[in-house]
Amino acid sequence: MEEFKKLSENLKTLRKDYGYTQKEIADKLGITYQSYQAYERGIAVPNLKNFIRLAEIYDVSMDFLIGKKDI
């Protein structure tokens, strides 16, 4: 479960670094704002499609998103 904590932290950090709002990312993923917010709060994890899309949006690996690798 530690990976989920790191995922939520990384999503929040990347979003802020890129200057996006939670709603903007949710719109890019085609999900509700509340669903995306749950990712950043660590109470839900993205499905595989959205996980891949998040890595593409931020141009990082999926390993990076879960804290297994540096960029």
What is the spatial distance between Cα 54 and Cα 25, in angstroms, rounded to a whole number?
8
Rounded to whole angstroms, the Cα distance separating 69 from 66 reads 8
Tokens of 60: 């990082």
Query: Is 21 within the bounds of a domain?
Result: yes
Question: What distance in Å separates the CA atoms of residue 48 and residue 9, rounded to the nearest whole number?
Answer: 18
CATH number of the domain residue 7 falls in: 1.10.260.40
Is 70 domain-assigned?
A: no
Contact yes or no for 46/39 (Cβ under 8 A)? yes
Q: Is the pTM of this model over 0.85?
A: yes
The residue range of the domain holding 54 is 2-65
The structural domain count of the chain equals 1
Digitized pLDDT (tens) for each residue of the chain, 71 residues in all: 566 789 999 999 999 999 999 999 999 999 999 999 999 999 999 999 999 999 999 999 999 999 886 65
